[in-house]
Amino acid sequence: MSRFSLKGLSGLAGLALVLALVAVAARALGSGRPEVGLLAPVRAAPAEQLDTVRLAPGQTFGQVLQRASVGWSDQNALLLAFREQANPRRMRDGTLITLRWLRHGDRGLRGVDVSLNPDTTVRLFRDGVDWSSALKNTPVRRDTLFVAGTVRNLLWNAIIEDPDLAGFPASDRALIIHWMDQVFQWQIDFSRQVREGDEYRFVLELEIRPDSTLRSGHLVAAEYVNQGTPYRAVWFDPNGDGSGTFYDEDGKSVRRAFLMKPLEFRRISSGVNPNRLHPVHGYRRPHNGVDYAARTGTPVMATADGAVVYAGWKGEFGNLVEIRHPNGWLTRYGHLNGFGPGIRGGARVRQGQTIGYVGMTGTATGPHLHYEMRRGNGRVLNPLAVRLPPGDPVPARSWGRWVQESRQRLSLLASMPGPPIQVLAEAPDADDPEQGSAQGGD
């Protein structure tokens, strides 16, 4: 390895030069002061300059070093040292590479950190005249978090002020609210249906890394009791490949053919009554839809799979999108600022796809979305009152594992105060008719 170390000498020479200069300066200043007091901090923490680079698609580690003007011999020595820990040809696009330079002297390279993933970093450092490597694993602590509370006015306030979450920054608490919205987006419109006295409980699994503020985690079980009706969601991964989803306590998917609302809860302006923005077709006249106040440019989602039948200007609705869905359903989205990519008559859309952006075109005095749900016969429906059948249940082949895992997760929920939780003993599509009849209906 020593044949790759020529450049290393110049780095050391640079360090030696810095130390010598400091020593000279200390002597010049110091009549009678001990030199060691000035020298020690320099030796302990040489001033470094950090250059952080992300590996571009198709780029190699060697090319990054070359681009940073690392000498040829150092490049080779670094690659050799790196190979002791990982294969430089298997570095993923976007890998974070930090070059640590000495700020003084000849700006010699002092070390290189390569973050293989959020938890693992390869550290390359000068070791005498050679380069050495070490693997640094970030200790990840897993935590289970139990949160329960009662809503006094807004869900947002309840979660932000929940003492169970006191240790988390506001951004993390806002993220938790978003996760709740994602889980219950087919059952509850948190912007319109939340009532005083509603209760929630949820269990979160978190990964906590001490040297970063990043907290990653996911909900494993959640419950929201809306005006006395409990909605529950349990995380389950039927294929064991990470593509899991949420099911209710009976093993039926929480997904429905329609989302309850076409905007993410976190993007809906709270404390604004959009009806006040409607001097022309407010509630005094029959108002055929639901209005959501949100910032101009907020993405609007198709609430269900379907086909666009109209995308263009329509009188007081301004820019309007109309989507036809299976079984004679029709949804309309008005006052849009613009249309989503590819949204035109005949285009097929998927549930959750961006079909436009909130605006105030047509008759509107502030940015908001006008949303309507109709039947093909023209009958207008209240989206909050429509009840739809649940999505696919847990596949029969995974039922045994579901029973085991869901009971464990529901028992975590039930460890907090709240309504009792009963679960089905058998798969909802089990072939045994006697078991089936014992379940009753709803």
- Count of residues of this chain found to bind Zn ion when the rule CB under 5 A is applied: 2
Q: Which CB sits closer to Zn ion, 249 or 372? A: 372
Give the nearest distance from C-beta 319 to Zn ion in angstroms: 14
Give the nearest distance from C-beta 334 to Zn ion in angstroms: 7
- Please say whether the beta carbons of 103 and 49 come within 8 A: yes
- Please say whether the beta carbons of 204 and 220 come within 8 A: yes
Q: Which CB sits closer to Zn ion, 262 or 390? A: 262
Q: Which CB sits closer to Zn ion, 126 or 374? A: 374
End-to-end Cα separation, the chain, in angstroms: 74
Give the nearest distance from C-beta 275 to Zn ion in angstroms: 8
Give the nearest distance from C-beta 121 to Zn ion in angstroms: 53
Q: Which stretch binds Zn ion (CB under 5 A): 90-98, 115-123, 261-269, 365-373?
A: 365-373
Q: Which stretch binds Zn ion (CB under 5 A): 27-35, 57-65, 301-309, 364-372?
A: 364-372
Q: CA angle at residue 233 from 119 to 291, to 5 degrees?
A: 100
Residue closest to 122 by CA, chosen among 165, 79, 156: 79
Q: Which stretch binds Zn ion (CB under 5 A): 115-123, 141-149, 291-299, 322-330?
A: 291-299
Shortest-Cβ-distance residue relative to Zn ion: 370
> Angle 36-44/6-29 helices, nearest 10 degrees?
150
332 binds Zn ion (CB under 5 A): no
Q: Which CB sits closer to Zn ion, 290 or 349? A: 290
DSSP label at 430? Answer: -
Q: Where are the alpha helices (DSSP H) in 30-71?
A: 36-44, 61-67
Q: Which CB sits closer to Zn ion, 275 or 354? A: 275
Cα–Cα distances in angstroms (integers) from residue 332 to residues 188, 277, 298, 337, 383, in the given order: 20, 19, 16, 14, 12
Q: Which stretch binds Zn ion (CB under 5 A): 170-178, 191-199, 253-261, 284-292?
A: 284-292
- Please say whether the beta carbons of 78 and 65 come within 8 A: yes
Residues 366-425 that bind Zn ion (CB under 5 A): 370
Give the nearest distance from C-beta 218 to Zn ion in angstroms: 36
Give the nearest distance from C-beta 291 to Zn ion in angstroms: 4
Cα–Cα distance, 86 to 66 (Å, whole number): 20
| CA 206 to chain CA mean position, Å | 13
Cα–Cα distances in angstroms (integers) from residue 313 to residues 16, 318, 320, 322, 371, in the given order: 73, 5, 6, 11, 15
Give the nearest distance from C-beta 310 to Zn ion in angstroms: 17
Q: Which CB sits closer to Zn ion, 215 or 370? A: 370
Encoded tokens for 130: 């050679």
Give the nearest distance from C-beta 388 to Zn ion in angstroms: 23
Q: Which stretch binds Zn ion (CB under 5 A): 30-38, 97-105, 168-176, 290-298?
A: 290-298
| Secondary structure (3-state) at 115 | strand
Q: Which CB sits closer to Zn ion, 181 or 291? A: 291
Q: What is the CA radius of gyration of the chain?
A: 30
Q: Which CB sits closer to Zn ion, 55 or 364? A: 364
291 binds Zn ion (CB under 5 A): yes
Q: How crowded is residue 272: how many other Cβ atoms within 10 Å of its Cβ?
A: 16
User: Which positions touch Zn ion (CB under 5 A)?
Assistant: 291, 370
